[in-house]
């Protein structure tokens, strides 16, 4: 089974949605980004254009390729119009189970019966999402990593009923995007977040218990384990609300206290300190600055 005809529809024009649209369009696919907010759609196209400029500046993309990539991208605020010709839909809306279930009911109604419905969820059950559709065999997880144009991995998650042919199609498609696919099964957090989030949570516990400061914890993991970012900086980058939501999925899903989110993480989310997107988390983020400054709350 290969994806023939039709185009790719990406639901949600946030950071992940625009990254996913970027890589499909750059690899020759016609992409429609669907979002109810016209402002968000404009912002997504502006972001893609800015990220393509980085690639042009680095010499990894020509000006001509940038133009072709942008010409492959369309935007649509009406979901019925946005998915009517799709061969594949990749849902990348906010990580909220009720919202995703509602979107999948709509996708099942409005996308062609032959379309594969994929979700970029970072931890919500594919099986649960598939169960609200009449095509559970065509529902699959296609989990890209942030920043999508840079990160090589696509974690592909088989739901309980996902057809082998559908998995094969998504594996081959991921390779066409220049990515490395890894197929895993549908259990809480899959593989990426089952391993990443306990590490981040443990880093936050280490800070909370006063074992070390923000800079020390991140430096140990950056220089000691060759991670590109320390776990606290990575938590800010992913979003502390997203980290908390994923930990809750692990905690509820396994019923094991080892996944209980650190009280400091819970407090920070309640205080609106969500990391990069809110301007402050473990670090503070000034617009346009690349300097890493520890939040005053955690300064020595
Ligand atoms: N689009 C295109 N290119 C981009 C980009 C984007 N959005 N963001 C960064 N880049 C490119 C830069 O142009 C640069 O290219 P060169 O290597 O050719 O110079 C390269 O990426 C590195 O960028 P920077 O020099 O700006 O910064 P950096 O060296 O500090 O790297 C980083 C930034 C790639 C984000 C790096 O810090 C990193 O890999 N961090 C860890 C990222 C990670 O772990 N992501 C997974 C998060 S978990 C997740 O996504 C899933 C989930 O479910 C929670």
Same domain, 122 and 261: no
- The residue among 232, 235, 208, 210 whose CA lies nearest residue 222 is 232
Question: Is residue 30 located within the same domain as residue 110?
Answer: yes
Residue 299 falls within a domain, yes or no? no
CB 120 within 8 A of CB 92: yes
CATH number at residue 266: 1.10.1040.50
Q: Which of 143, 158, 174, 206 is catalytic?
A: 143
Q: Tell which of 165, 185, 205 closes a domain.
A: 185
Atom of ligand 1 nearest to the CA of 122: 53
Residue 289: predicted pLDDT:
84
Q: Is 228 in the pocket of ligand 1 (CB under 6 A)?
A: yes
Q: Are 162 and 226 within one domain? A: no
Decide if 121 is inside a domain: yes
Residue 129 near residue 162, CB atoms below 8 Å: no
Asked if residues 95 and 121 have their Cβ atoms less than 8 Å apart, the reply is yes
**Catalytic (active site) residue 63:** no
CA atoms of 79 and 62, how far apart (whole Å): 33
22 is a catalytic site residue: no
CA distance 223 to 232: 14
Q: Are residues 12 and 28 in the same domain?
A: yes
146 lines ligand 1 (CB under 6 A): yes
Tell me the CATH number at 67.
Answer: 3.40.50.720
User: Which of 185, 210, 242 lies at the terminal end of a domain, its last residue?
Assistant: 185
- In this structure, are 151 and 24 located in the same domain? yes
Residues 30 and 154 placed together within one structural domain of the fold: yes
**3-state DSSP call for residue 226?**
coil
Radius of gyration of the chain, Cα coordinates, nearest whole angstrom? 19
pTM, 2 dp: 0.95
From the CA of 149, how far away is ligand 1's center (Å)? 8
CA dist., res. 11 & res. 252, Å (int): 27
Residues of the domain holding 33: 7-185
pLDDT of amino acid 2: 65
Q: Look at residue 5 in the predicted model and tell me its pLDDT.
A: 60
Domain count, the chain: 2
- From first to last of its 300 residues, the chain has per-residue pLDDT tens of 567 566 999 999 999 999 999 999 999 999 999 999 999 999 999 999 999 999 999 999 999 999 999 999 999 999 999 999 999 999 999 989 999 999 999 999 999 999 999 999 999 999 999 999 999 999 999 999 999 999 999 999 999 999 999 999 999 999 999 999 999 999 999 999 999 999 999 999 999 999 999 999 999 999 999 999 999 999 999 999 999 999 999 999 999 999 999 999 999 999 999 999 999 999 999 988 889 999 999 987
Catalytic residue chosen out of the listed positions 18, 22, 95, 155: 155
């Amino acid at each position: 089974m290969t994806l023939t005809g039709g185009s790719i529809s990406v639901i949600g024009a946030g950071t992940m949605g625009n990254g996913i649209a970027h890589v499909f369009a750059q690899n020759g696919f016609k992409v429609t980004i669907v979002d109810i907010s016209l402002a968000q759609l404009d912002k997504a196209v502006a972001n893609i254009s800015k990220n393509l400029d980085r690639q042009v500046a680095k010499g990894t993309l020509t000006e001509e390729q940038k133009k072709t990539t942008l010409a492959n991208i369309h935007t649509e605020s009406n979901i019925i119009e946005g998915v009517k010709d799709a061969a594949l839909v990749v849902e990348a809306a906010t990580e909220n189970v009720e919202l995703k279930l509602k979107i999948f009911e709509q996708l099942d109604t409005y996308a062609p019966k032959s379309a594969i419905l994929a979700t970029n969820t970072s931890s919500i059950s594919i099986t649960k999402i598939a169960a609200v559709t009449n095509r559970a065999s065509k529902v699959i997880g296609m989990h890209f990593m942030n920043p999508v144009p840079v990160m090589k991995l696509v974690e592909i998650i088989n739901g309980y009923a996902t057809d082998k042919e559908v998995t094969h199609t998504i594996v081959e498609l991921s390779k066409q995007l220049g990515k490395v696919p890894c197929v895993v099964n549908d259990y809480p957090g899959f593989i990426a977040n089952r391993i990443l989030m306990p590490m981040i949570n443990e880093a936050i516990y280490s800070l909370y218990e006063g074992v070390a400061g923000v800079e020390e914890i991140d430096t140990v993991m950056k220089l000691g384990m060759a991670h590109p970012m320390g776990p606290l900086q990575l938590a800010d980058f992913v979003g502390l609300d997203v980290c908390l939501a994923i930990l809750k999925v692990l905690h509820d899903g396994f019923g094991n206290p080892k996944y209980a989110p650190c009280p400091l993480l819970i407090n920070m989310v309640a205080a609106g300190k969500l990391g990069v997107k809110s301007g402050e988390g473990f670090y503070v983020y000034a617009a346009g600055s690349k300097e890493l400054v520890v939040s005053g709350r955690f300064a020595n």
